Structure 1
Amino acid sequence: MRDFLATRARASPDATALVDDHSGRERTYAELDAAVETTAGRLAATGVTRGDHVGVLMETRPAFVRLAFALQRLGATLVPLNARLAPTELHAQRERADLVLLVCDAETESDARAAADEVPVASVDDPHEADVLAFGDREPGEVTPAEWTREDALALLFTSGTTGDPKPVTLTLGNVLAAAGASAFKLGVDPDDRWLLCLSMYHMGGLSIPLRCALYGTTCILQRGFDADEAVRALDEYDCTGVSVVPTMLDRMLRADERIPGSLRFALCGGAPTPAELVAACEDAGVPIHPSYGMTEATSQISTARPTEAFANRGTVGRPLFGTTVTIVDDADEPVDAGETGELCVAGPTVTPGYYDAPESNAESFGPHGLYTGDVGYRDDAGRLYVLNRQSDRIITGGENVDPGRVAEAIRAHSAVRDVAVVGVADSEWGERVAALVVPTDGAEIDRDALEAHWDERLADFEQPRTVVFVNELPRTASGTVDRAAARERVVEAAGL
């Protein structure tokens, strides 16, 4: 099998593939294929060959799309890195993923250099530093299109996982093909569909859009970042039929100055639990919300509810997609009856074959019913799924996963901090906000400004606590561990949340 784009360009050369909302430039599949051929040649000229892991550190932009398809053309593996992470976090992920090249842009060049060490860095923009390769100036080398099997690794995407420890998830060509097909069976596909991409492509929800559009022969409308008013404007201007969002984004779009246009056929809403109030607001506004449950390890979607199902059964994420099996088990790995809660396990062709170079994690993460998701939920008598909470203490804020232990470790490194507990508290805008109970060292004086200056270089912006409460002692259980429920209550009470 050849790469998705080359196959699509032969089948639909004149169909519109990509529209850059920022510049207004449109490319047909034939034009995008030619641009990707040049990009692949430049990657080849830097030494990228089949099987290599290449990191991409940038926000969503057309260059990211070209790189994703160009790496597939060469048979290399795409490793998208979160452009919002701190350099120390990027450094650890770069090491873990065994990169041979890190591609950045002007905005991420500094962080890329800090994380790269001996790995070459190339920028798609004019480099600021002499040791960064000017990707656009490379004379394209010879490209030998790779032959793919379903088992070949198309991408490695980092996720916090069920333990909170960031691990690179291997997603194969077969995973992506199965996910695209199952999503099409659930959402439907029309040849004239236009899917708005306003998510970050370093998350699977964003990366999946141009990949699926190439498979379907539909159009991707790309926005460089998210702004609610701009997103609604683009939906209307381009007669978009689909959009993928996290709940916070959709809520802001509903509150925008203009109404979401009637051309929209589906608003795929995932990345965090969809509040019942948001589903009700969509029903009132006539917005076709599709609440979805998914994870990177399952190539995004696991289950999705269509609008009528969501409106009639508030809180459901529908039934599993075609080919996906979800089993809810108790602590003994035994399936539970409808209405009983347990951990969700997922199996099927969209599920990763495992974490990259992590045999111990793989042994712990897979069981007789598939992948342990770390999520607790139940199934009703009709087979609809409801996801209640995380089995771990992981915080989800604005669709981003936050490991409380990582945040606590960064705060605890301050010399004036004796102890700290990090919890998630309910937030009407972000779903959850990161909050910290901080115990100062005896006699030490410390305020929030000092802590912010300390953690700014250690934590991504979405990981940084929005609420900080100073206490003399942390609430603890009889066994001496932090009582997280009590800590959360202390934060809510002290901050007046």
Structure 2
Amino acid sequence: MEHPLPYDTLNPIALDFSPLNLLGSAAMRKPNNLHLVGVAHPHTSIFEGKLDSQFPQDLLITEQTTVTQSYDLALRLVTLLKEHGVSTGDRVAIYGPNTIWHLLIHFACAGVKAISVPLDQHYQPDELNVVLNDCAPKLVFAGPAQESRLLQTNIKNAFKVISLSVLPSLVTSREPALGNNLPNCNEDVLGTIIYTSGTTSHPKGVALTHANLWWGCRNFREVFEYSSDCVEAVVAPLSHIGGFNGTTLDLAYSGGTVVVIEGFNAETVLAVFERFRVQMMFGVPTIYQRLLSSSAFNMRDLSSFSRPLIGGSPLPLPVAQKMHEVGWFPYNVWGMTEQSASGTCLTPGMASLSLNGVGVPFPFTQVRVVDIEQAEAGVLVGVPSGIVGMLVCAGPSVTRGYWQDEGLSESSFIDGWLLTGDLGFVDGNGVIQFVARASDTVMTGGEKVLPEPVAEVLRTMPGVRDAQVVGIADDEWGQAVAAVLLPNLDFPEGVALNSFSDSEVLALVRDYAGQYLARYKLPRAIRVVESFPVSSNGKVSKLGLQDLFSS
């Protein structure tokens, strides 16, 4: 399948996209630079470590390497992979909490042209059965909790399991592979399979080449304007594209400083920001919301933090406004696993045009807004500004398809353009506005309701701190619009919402929202909660929201 963008002419000398070879070059340029740092909250780590003297209550240092040491560990990992018979095209899974070993294993896989498969650490046995039977790994590196779940699976292929907690000693006891005898990885060599739920009933494996990932990083460099001297924190799961490739790989193989946080804890993240003078981090809106509301927020020196990258779900306007108030001017990214996370970006310089739009395409990604029905019929027809359509994209960072799923791969592309399933429009300033996933559209009584515009209205209601909208099954309407509210307990209206019955809140909400929305868009069910249910990657869980209405 040909991409409309001829990426081989953009940088014809970049023929080797191997992250291991790129790391080797970085080790020559900046051998002693602080490189990979593993940190955790003191009571949750799977590794032994040393309490940080500055923040002993919040910070455990589990690993710390220079660029040269990281390259040496990756070469020793190559030896370990070869001992277990891993070779070209084999899959190697990493199943555990965030660690620096996710990155080192990915680099080592490139040293034998194997494919790394980072798995969601929260997968349960039934989910594991699906993904492991699909990718059929030869080797699985697993955390302690994840090892016990592996024993409960019914996997067709046999694979070896190595515990992440003992991996450091295993690796250091091996001899390093020869750095001058490593393979090159051209634009066709698969680098990773990342499983994403998307709109399907089971996880789908997005197959990304090393070149896809490299071009995604090239997009980030151009727009975020950082150098390889940057210090980055990683708290988003490394099993998801935002954590894995959202500048993480680039800084890791370029010799920057990457601080990998084992699990999210707001106080630990803020301590990391001060301790390591962090400049950049990717997070979903929920992560930033929790950092901003942490009691430690005003206790830490956060002056170094200049590039808050945000994406994974729509950026609520109140969160965008709060970030601007504290001087954290967000880079709001619309990115999918299928694009190596690089679709569009709203930079801080565009804030006068829109606070929570998703901006314009990255330099090496093409994005169009096309007619939804025509696209579903196999034809791409553009729509005028202001009209909601489906976002389609193409470019060298875009996947060529899904692992072992030719049907899905064929149906997801038209003439090289990826049908994202996301809906949006171009506003009067030329800024792309994300509206919803096509699959999130609520069909009620024959009418289509987009959840986010309804939620935006509800967020302006006195006493409401945040709102989410979903569709739920309804015998009369097919689906009904349902809203979940977080009350703002700092105001009397919020306290009142928290004390009223659901039926009383619903009447108030319908009365308020009816001033701004057509009647069929008004919620027919309501819940008031202390916090939204979230998935393993920190995004608000649509299924979790719907479950609130199941009783």
**TM-score w.r.t. structure 2 length?**
0.71
In 1, distance between residues paired with 2:199 and 2:472?
21
Cα deviation, residue 310, structure 1: 3.2
2:141 pairs with 1:123: no
Q: What does residue 461 of structure 1 align with?
A: none
In 2, distance between residues paired with 1:32 and 1:92?
33
In 2, distance between residues paired with 1:494 and 1:317?
29
Q: Is the 8 A contact 2:358 2:433 kept in 1?
A: yes
Q: What does residue 140 of structure 2 align with?
A: 102
Q: Which has the larger displacement, 242-251 or 184-193?
A: 184-193
Cα deviation, residue 165, structure 1: 4.0
SS across alignment from 1:249: helix
In 1, distance between residues paired with 2:132 and 2:173?
23
* Aligned ranges 1:102-181 → 2 under 5 Å: 102-115=140-153, 116-125=155-164, 145-181=182-218
Give the partner amino acid of 2:420.
T
Q: Is the 8 A contact 1:272 1:431 kept in 2?
A: no
Q: Is the 8 A contact 1:264 1:288 kept in 2?
A: no
Q: What does residue 493 of structure 1 align with?
A: 525
Q: What does residue 352 of structure 1 align with?
A: 399
Cα deviation, residue 389, structure 1: 0.6
Q: Which of 116, 131, 134 is the equivalent residue of 1:93?
A: 131
**TM-score w.r.t. structure 1 length?**
0.78
Cα deviation, residue 394, structure 1: 8.5
* Aligned ranges 1:159-308 → 2 under 5 Å: 159-208=196-245, 209-256=247-294, 257-259=296-298, 261-308=302-349
Cα deviation, residue 290, structure 1: 1.0
SS across alignment from 1:110: helix
In 2, distance between residues paired with 1:341 and 1:435?
19
Give the partner amino acid of 2:341.
S
2:81 pairs with 1:81: no
Paired residues, what number?
425
In 2, distance between residues paired with 1:26 and 1:56?
20
Q: Is the 8 A contact 2:75 2:176 kept in 1?
A: no
Cα deviation, residue 223, structure 1: 1.1
In 1, distance between residues paired with 2:203 and 2:209?
19
Residue 494 and residue 270 in structure 1: after superposition, are their counterparts in 2 closer, same or farther (change >3 A)?
A: closer
Q: What does residue 458 of structure 1 align with?
A: none
Give the partner amino acid of 2:209.
T
User: Once the two structures are superposed, what CA deviation does each residue of 1:180-206 show, in whole Å capped at 9, x if it has no partner?
Assistant: 111010001234310111111000111
Q: What does residue 497 of structure 2 align with?
A: none
Q: What does residue 7 of structure 1 align with?
A: 25
Q: What does residue 318 of structure 1 align with?
A: 359
Q: Which has the larger displacement, 202-211 or 305-314?
A: 305-314
Cα deviation, residue 267, structure 1: 0.5
In 2, distance between residues paired with 1:430 and 1:222?
30
Q: What does residue 468 of structure 1 align with?
A: none
Give the partner amino acid of 1:17.
H
Q: What does residue 338 of structure 1 align with?
A: 385
Note the residue ranges of structure 2 that are not aligned, 5 or more in a row.
1-15, 41-48, 50-60, 375-379, 443-450, 485-505, 507-521, 530-551
In 2, distance between residues paired with 1:105 and 1:394?
38
% identical aligned pairs:
23
Q: Is the 8 A contact 2:467 2:483 kept in 1?
A: no
Give the partner amino acid of 2:479.
D
Residue 487 and residue 360 in structure 1: after superposition, are their counterparts in 2 closer, same or farther (change >3 A)?
A: farther
2:37 pairs with 1:19: yes
Cα deviation, residue 146, structure 1: 2.2
Q: Is the 8 A contact 1:290 1:310 kept in 2?
A: no
In 2, distance between residues paired with 1:15 and 1:265?
21
Q: Which has the larger displacement, 245-254 or 98-107?
A: 98-107
Q: Is the 8 A contact 2:482 2:526 kept in 1?
A: no
Cα deviation, residue 37, structure 1: 1.3
SS across alignment from 1:283: helix
SS across alignment from 2:270: helix
Q: Is the 8 A contact 1:269 1:290 kept in 2?
A: yes
Q: Is the 8 A contact 1:57 1:103 kept in 2?
A: yes
Cα deviation, residue 252, structure 1: 0.8
User: Once the two structures are superposed, what CA deviation does each residue of 1:218-260 show, in whole Å capped at 9, x if it has no partner?
Assistant: 1101111111121111111111110110000001111122237
Note the residue ranges of structure 1 that are not aligned, 5 or more in a row.
396-422, 438-473
